[in-house]
Structures are given as C-alpha cells and as structure tokens.
Amino acid sequence: MKLSEWGELALIEEIKRRVSYSSDVLIGIGDDTAQIDVSANKSLLITTDTFSENIHFTTGLFTAYQIGYKLVASNVSDIYSMAARPCYLLLNMTVPGELDKDFMLEFLDGINRAIKQYGLQLIGGDVTSADKAMTFTATLIGIPQNRVIRRDGAQVGDGIYLSGPTGEAACGHELLKRLSMPVKVESDELPDLPLKRDSMLRVLKRFLLPDIEPVKDAHNIHSMIDVSDGLFIDLRRLCDASGVGAILYERDIPVSDAIKEVAGFLQIDPYRLITSGGEDYVLLFTAPKGLNGYYQIGEIIDEPSVKIERTDGSIENIGYEGYEHFVHKG
C-alpha cells in the first residue's frame, strides 16, 4: 500500500500507538506543541514544522523572504495557541548546491524579520545539501506564561471564539495562483488589478507574511488550537480531544470586506475558503460565553456531533475537510 492510500492521519495514529510517556512528558504527540517538565516550577513547550518545496511553497509564488518568514511564523502560531511565549529557534535547511546564494540570503532576511518580530533567538540547526527540492524545518521552544492551554479542555456551554477572520490566507493563495508569480508584499509591491489596494494587501499578507497574534488575556480560556489546516478540521480536532461536540452559526462567522471583494473578483465562493482553506494562523478557542474582543462563532454542546447552522436555518454536519498530506495535494 502506498502512503497516498494509507494517509497522513493513519501514519500519525501508528506513531501515537507506539509511544508511551513517563511523567516528565506533560504533553506528548497530539497537541500543537509538546510540553516537558524541567524542574519544580518550570516546563518548556516544543513545536516543529517542515516546509517542503512544491508542497508548502513554490518559488513560482513565493519570494525566498516570504518562505523564511512564514516557516517561523507557523511555529510561533503553535506556541501562541498554548498561551506561551516563543523563545528559541532551530533551523534545518536542506537545499541544492545549484541554489543561488542571493536566494539563501533573502531567505535568511525573512527568518531574521520573524526573529525580530517575535523576540526569538536562533540557537542552532543544520545545513545539508538536497538532491532536488528544498526542505526547511523550524523547531521552536516556548516558555509558558501562566497556565498552558491545551486543545482538550473545552467544556459544554463554552462559547467558541476566533481571534481573527479565516479564509483570507486561502483567498490570497487563490489570487497568487491566478497571478502565477511572486508578489513582493515585503516591499509593498502589489499587482495592477481592479481591486482596492487594502484588500489585496490584506489577503496577500495573510498568506505570505502573516502577523501572528497571541490572545491578550488567556485567563478564562478553556481550550485553544491554531487554525492551520482549516476552521472545520481544526474545530473537529479540538472537539475530538475534548470529547465534546459543537455547533457553529454561519451568521456569526466573520467574512472580511477584503475576502468579499477579492473572492468576488476571482468568482470563488468564500464559504469554502473560510471553513476549509487553511493556513489562517488565527486562534480558535473556547471560553465562557460573553467574552469581548473576539468573534464568538458557536458553542460547545453535549452531543458527539460537530455541525453548522447555515444562514438559511439548515443544519449540516462538519466532516474532516482540511489539508491531509499524501491524500490530497493542495
């Protein structure tokens, strides 16, 4: 059987089945980060992400600067989703010898921007040659601030919140694919299209150079995950880990002016982008109802299903639509 038939999730289940932990591993495989107990009052969080060429990025759509920045930002998002502070970065670069030195320097500039923006320190890594495609891995160590917030703490009756609108990144990706060339948003370059400058900048930046934001006050939050594979699949993960169900209300899910305008121009229905587009790097969390400053999009319910009430009043079950490696290539 090929991996493309077996699937990424089956492989991860196989790996989970093989591991067992002693008490110093506070969180193992299965959350946004691992957590290890270091001493009486100190623990650390660790997360790692790999970007591979032609899967996570192509040089036809990304500048080297954007690849470097986004690699680090995706890890920062995982640390923020535990309500922790990102600190120490390791960087593994597997690149072919034919690669241009300037590409590498621009990639490092992107890494450096993320290091400065999020207050990180680059403490190590590995440089190796690649036979063909580039592969980059970033590993990030974070320090808990107060309580670490896991994805398995959702409680029946909680409101479900988003820290920002979803779908803009996927919309930016669609726009880029239509353009078929990189756009240097880091230098404020934008394509010449009949669209508002702000809308283009917004969706392209969400995809290429996303600003990752922590929640301001994690005090009342019961569970949290970052939306990286898509709102629906990441909500399902949170619900599965917590052993609860959920209902979303379509009318409450934010649809930004930028996505309306750009998706309209591209003649795409924004619904799929918003619910299953992925790479949003916003936070999805649950907390008692009535929290201000975030989008409340649904509630945690005492039944096993995860569903959405559409604007026409109909109810649909939410499956596992989202990005799975090997199985679909996005």
Contacts of 187 (CB under 8 A, 6+ apart): none
CB 148 to its own copies: min, Å: 14
Q: Closest CB to its own copies among 140 and 175?
A: 140
The answer to whether the CB of 174 falls within 8 A of the CB of 265 is: no
d(CA 112, CA 118): 10
Closest to 30 measured CA to CA, from 16, 49, 46? 16
Q: Closest CB to its own copies among 114 and 200?
A: 114
Q: Closest CB to its own copies among 271 and 326?
A: 326
Q: Closest CB to its own copies among 100 and 188?
A: 100
Q: What angle in degrees, to the nearest 10, is found between the helix axes of 64-80 and 101-118?
A: 30
d(CA 167, CA 26): 33
d(CA 101, CA 320): 41
CB 54 to its own copies: min, Å: 4
CB 325 to its own copies: min, Å: 4
Instruction: Tell me how crowded residue 76 is: count the other CB atoms within 10 A of its CB.
Output: 28
CB 19 to its own copies: min, Å: 5
Question: Which residue do the tokens 């619910």 mark?
Answer: 275
- The count of residues in the chain is 330
CB 240 to its own copies: min, Å: 18
Closest to 92 measured CA to CA, from 123, 131, 61, 57? 123
CB 45 to its own copies: min, Å: 10
Strands 223-227 and 135-144: unpaired
Q: Closest CB to its own copies among 119 and 191?
A: 119
The answer to whether the CB of 230 falls within 8 A of the CB of 276 is: yes
The answer to whether the CB of 117 falls within 8 A of the CB of 186 is: no
CB 36 to its own copies: min, Å: 6
